[in-house]
């Protein structure tokens, strides 16, 4: 069982990790961040990105409800992964990770994120 | 002596690395650990206890038992984890969420509420998350700005939530909190009532109400009475693409302008002259 701080260090230990931030998306607040110069700014931007994607994908999906497992955006230099963790009370909590394009393995990163999520929620 | 605002009291306690509780009027309490805020309680928002019981994780008597067992060392949070009520991550996020929620309502008033500091007093949950004082105030301001962005009127904040009976458009997109709100709204409960009933943070509920209002899904005074029609009509409407136009616009057919008729006559004359 791990807490939020440990969760961040686990995420940063994923091969190719450049920076990571855990975001509380109700107000777009950076809960904890590592490697990013301005976590508050990253958190605000990532919250908007996630919200827009959720709304857009809901409109584009034939199903009635949409649940995003992982959102992956690839830029010229990096992969951005956003994984929402549903919390019982409020949430979700967003785990946002930026990976080096050359040095990372997307499949491995997704698998590791899944394990870390389970550890965060295990009790 | 100049009146001391809550802001200055907390800033001073932070500078002194104080540990204890600051009772704010009758509305709530701010807990500090080593000069940082570790928990905030407010009478208008659900605390960790309520969030746990309304979500069915533990019964009210179960919480009481743990609270008594926690004792003066205040390790109630650790006991909750040991008993498998929730994980450490969940507890931390829950404390963080409840603190932000309570702070938004407790620290916001501009007045100078009477406050009393009790040295060494700790919350029974123990310390599971920290906020620095300026950071907490900054977060409250950001939350306030976010509410304004969603729907720039406090008109519905204290009123009963009444969803409209009929949609303007063919379909509507709702988030999970909005769906819960629409289901629970009984036309008498206010946003804060609904937050307690649903075991959701008060701020999130308020935000969901304002978003629903912006989407034209809640009855506002504009729709309910002609006396107040002029005030809310001036509010900007942030209507998503799914809802085309709002009811008040639709009831009025477009008014023909006399100038248009003259233009048409001139056009006809010009065409006939060709």
The residue of A1, A25, A27, A58 whose CB has the most chain B CBs within 10 angstroms, and thus the best one to mutate to test that interface, is A27
pLDDT, position B3: 64
Q: Which among B166, B138, B159 is positioned nearest to B206, based on CA atoms?
A: B159
Name the least confident of A24-38, A93-107, B59-73, B249-263: B249-263
Name the least confident of A50-59, A65-74, B255-264: B255-264
Q: Quickly tell me which residue has 């994908």 as its tokens.
A: A57
**Which H helix or E strand runs over B43?**
none
Residue B96 has pLDDT above 80, yes or no: yes
> Do the beta carbons of residue A28 and residue B146 sit within 8 Å?
yes
CB atoms within 10 A of CB B173: 15
Predicted confidence (pLDDT) per residue in B67-91, tens digit? 888 877 768 999 999 998 999 999 9
Domain of A15: which CATH number? 3.30.450.30
Is the minimum CB–CB distance between A91 and chain B shorter than 8 Å?
yes
| pLDDT higher at B170 or B210 | B210
Residue A48 has pLDDT above 90, yes or no: yes
The interface predicted TM-score (ipTM) is 0.91
pLDDT, position B233: 43
Mean pLDDT, rounded, for B222-226: 47
Task: Indicate the residue of B55, B57, B87 with minimum beta-carbon distance to A121.
Answer: B87
Largest CA distance in chain B: 99
* pTM of the predicted protein model: 0.82
- Buried-state track B190-202, b at ≥16 Cβ within 10 A, e below 16: bbbbbbbebbbbb
Q: Which among B125, B63, B62, B116 is positioned nearest to B88, based on CA atoms?
A: B125
Domain range annotation of chain B: 6-148, 151-244
Total of domains in chain A: 1
How close A102 comes to chain B (CA, Å)?
32
Q: Do B201 and A27 touch (CB under 8 A)?
A: no
Residue B225 has pLDDT above 50, yes or no: no
| pLDDT higher at B252 or A108 | A108
Confidence band, pLDDT 50/70/90 cuts, at residue B250: very low
Confidence band, pLDDT 50/70/90 cuts, at residue B2: low
Task: Indicate the residue of A55, A93, A122 with minimum beta-carbon distance to B87.
Answer: A122
Q: Do B207 and A31 touch (CB under 8 A)?
A: no
Domain extent at residue A41: 4-121
Q: Do A89 and B204 touch (CB under 8 A)?
A: no
> Do the beta carbons of residue B12 and residue B30 sit within 8 Å?
no
Confidence band, pLDDT 50/70/90 cuts, at residue B259: low
Q: Do A120 and B87 touch (CB under 8 A)?
A: yes
Mean of pLDDT over chain B: 82
| Residues of chain B above pLDDT 90, percent | 50
Predicted confidence (pLDDT) per residue in B131-156, tens digit? 999 999 999 999 999 999 999 988 88
Is the minimum CB–CB distance between A1 and chain B shorter than 8 Å?
yes
Task: Indicate the residue of B57, B85, B143 with minimum beta-carbon distance to A27.
Answer: B143
Angle at B272 between CA B268 and CA B274, to 5 degrees: 120
Predicted confidence (pLDDT) per residue in A85-97, tens digit? 988 777 799 999 9
Measured distance CA(B50)–CA(B59) in Å, rounded: 10
């Amino acid at each position: 069982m791990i807490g939020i701080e440990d969760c961040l260090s686990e995420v940063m230990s994923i091969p190719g990790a450049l920076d990571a931030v855990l975001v509380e998306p109700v107000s777009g607040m950076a809960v904890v961040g590592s490697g990013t110069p301005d976590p508050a700014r990253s958190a605000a931007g990532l919250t908007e990105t996630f919200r827009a994607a959720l709304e857009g994908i809901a409109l584009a999906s034939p199903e009635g409800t949409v649940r995003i497992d992982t959102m992956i955006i690839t830029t010229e230099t990096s992969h951005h992964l956003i994984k929402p963790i549903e919390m019982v009370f409020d949430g979700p909590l967003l785990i946002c990770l930026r990976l080096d394009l050359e040095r990372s393995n997307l499949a491995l990163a997704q698998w590791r994120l899944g394990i870390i999520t389970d550890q965060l929620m295990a009790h | 002596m100049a009146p001391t605002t809550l802001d200055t009291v907390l800033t001073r306690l932070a500078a002194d690395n104080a540990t204890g509780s600051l009772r704010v009027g009758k509305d709530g309490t701010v807990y500090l650990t080593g000069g940082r805020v570790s928990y905030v309680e407010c009478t208008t928002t659900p605390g960790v206890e309520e969030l746990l019981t309304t979500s069915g994780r533990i019964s009210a008597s179960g919480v009481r038992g743990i609270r008594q067992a926690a004792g003066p060392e205040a390790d109630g949070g650790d006991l909750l984890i040991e008993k498998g009520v929730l994980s450490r991550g969940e507890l931390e996020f829950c404390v963080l969420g409840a603190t932000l929620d309570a702070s938004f309502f407790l620290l916001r008033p501009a007045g100078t509420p009477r406050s009393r500091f009790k040295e060494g007093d700790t919350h029974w949950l123990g310390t599971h998350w920290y906020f620095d004082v300026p950071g907490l105030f900054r977060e409250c301001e950001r939350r306030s700005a976010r509410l304004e962005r969603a729907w720039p009127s406090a008109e519905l904040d204290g009123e009963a939530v009444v969803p409209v009976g009929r949609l303007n458009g063919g379909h509507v997109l709702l988030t999970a909190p909005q769906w819960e709100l629409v289901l629970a709204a009984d036309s008498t409960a206010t946003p804060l009532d609904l937050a307690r009933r649903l075991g959701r943070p008060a701020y999130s509920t308020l935000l969901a109400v304002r978003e629903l209002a912006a989407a034209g899904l809640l009855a506002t005074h504009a729709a309910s009475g002609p006396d107040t029609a002029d005030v809310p009509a001036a509010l900007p409407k942030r209507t998503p693409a799914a809802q085309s136009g709002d009811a008040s616009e639709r009831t009025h057919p477009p008014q023909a302008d006399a100038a248009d008729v003259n233009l048409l006559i001139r056009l006809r004359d010009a065409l006939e002259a060709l």
